[in-house]
A and B are shown apart, each in its own frame.
Chain A
Amino acid sequence: MLFLQQITDGVATGAIYASIGLALVLIFRSTGIANFAQGEMAMFSTFVAWQLIAWGLPVPVAALVAVAFAFVVGAATERFVVRPAEGGSHLNTVILTFGLYLVFNEFAALIWHSTPLSFPTLAPERVWSVGGWRMTSSMVVMVGALVVESLAVYLLLRRTTLGLWMRASAANPESSALVGIDVKRMLMLGWGLAGVFGAIAGILIAPRVFLEPNMMSGILLYAFAAVILGGLDSVLGAVVGGVLIGVIENLVGTYVTVIGPDLKVVVPLVVIVLVLMLRPAGLFGAVERVRV
């Protein structure tokens, strides 16, 4: 029963890693960079939700407004921070996202201070238990949100004209511009959507970890492990990778006594190193072919 419980908990937290992972993948596919500020952007949006709740808005409404805010912040980040650096090396942009990490982190500390705040669940928490096995409504919401997000991304990218344009802009920006697609707008849209997925993850995990400026830094590490395991350019990979990392983390923390719950943060690091050594493209990533 303990084993089953660990798996269930792992899937639920894995859903959060996957959600941040989806955000990372959306940006990596279109811009080719890892956005190290993704977690902090999510944390900041979660603080916005908290503030709105403190001002008296119902929790679900506050969450929706914060998610919309995250879209705008994501799109604005592309427009005003990433785009001016375009044309330079990717490393410049990656370092810029580190800068953004600090900006969001410091601003959150400045506005809301660093004392951990408790954050409510979207709906009053309910618990179901069968034998020794427990399941909570917030776990259901976390997994449900991931299912909805993955379906939405799949339908958008594979079934709509807009999604076709987004994929084309990511795959071949020059040809996309030639057929008349506004490639820059597609990039902005991608960053906005990434912001949305990040914010959803932040709002859903905040009740478990307490809200404070460094809330997402550990989670971002797990999310990176998830996308590296799944493949940095694969939407499916982010989902599967996220859930796998969540489960592995819990199982190792429980059953490998040398590591135990206190040291389980090494799990994502070990996964990152192993995947990069054995299969750099990840489980579902496109293996780069060299054309002669």
Chain B
Amino acid sequence: MTQKELLFSALRHEVTERAPWVPFAGVHAGALIGADAIELLTNEDVLVKALLEVNRLYKPDGQPVVFDLQLEAEILGCQLLWAKDGPPSVANHPLADTMTVPCRCTLPKPEDGRLPMVLSAMRRMKEAVGETTALYGLICGPFTLASHLRGNDIFMDMYDDEEYVKDLLGYCADCGKLMSDYFIEAGMDVIAVVDPLVSQISSAHFEEFLTDPFVDLFAHIKKKGAFSSFFVCGDATRNIEVMCITKPDSISVDENVDILASKTITDKYNILIGGNIPLTSIMLHGTQQDNMKYVVDLLAKVKEYKNLIIAPGCDMPYAVPIDNVIGITQAVLQTAEVREMVKNYVSVEDDIDIELPDYAHLTKPLVEVFTLDSATCAACTYMMGAANVAKEYFGDKIDMVEYKFTVKENIARCKKIGVKNLPSIYINGKLKFSSIIPSKEKLEAAINEVL
């Protein structure tokens, strides 16, 4: 079974051998190749290169191709404020001063805005990894799109002119249907309708305004042969049930929602739920250990792998340390081993006597590669691969050793040296490369420095 088939199986609500993993690497994908968010979201080659790096390092079962909720809004007349380390924001609202619904003739066409670039990137990703990885096409949800167009007045409109809100949401849902068609045609397997604002309204308002357009949208996606997902951000706990009633194949929530409590509701409707690794406290500011622990703890609380996806709470911040995502990847792919590692990390005390090399008096350069396990962790495999190439090149002129984190003694060694993240390469006891795999030239240069 390929990774894509595993995810499809989960989306068909079958029991799977492990929980699927869908890293929402939006702008963060750029960080993997040193590109900023503006380059990533406007340059097709940069985008594809970054997404392939996500695929290579994080071994996703499913992966979004573009995470930009402003794509449609830009086409429909909103100006964007661009940032280097985050997705753009909507700077103005074309319907702020006019309570009108635009003509359907204004809806996005494949040649509008950044769509040609996005659709082409989707096709290239499909060609490159589509056999083994499920690809997510993300569209802006009708309510959030309506707020992009109308501004915050949309909330007041819900009291002042219900019919107007319904008409505008109808227009935005039609936009969603068209975008879904384009994305499915470009090879996307899952259409995620991302509507963060859903957490800001009551269930009664959801039922009054959103149930119909969402039911319509998810039925359309199903008819077109793709899976669907309903992404929400913020504390949407109270709305999980009304979201289920709109019949998506899956729902994705962030850390503001108790995912296990919500799973009892989604299970009732046989809908898959995904989430909810905390974006800031764990992914951005936590350690690799924190990230692995969060995932293994979450997985320990479900009795079987059914109707559950492990994913970040939402689009990962640009600067999430790569090490943290690698740790999560490993925790999903090798849950039992990582559970043991985390347990050992906590329990291993300094009483395991590790003798460190006398780094100051080595007879030849010593390259130490610290990995989670180069046999199973993709990033570790590449890191180890880079080290092996160097060893082949330098031969007897250098010593090289791999320390796998699966062995207790190696954990003690990591603690003693102060290794914070895996995989990493130390040369003569000094950290040289952490998580980002060095090129052959860079590694050789680093070794030559101490030869």
Answer yes or no: are A and B bound together in one complex: no
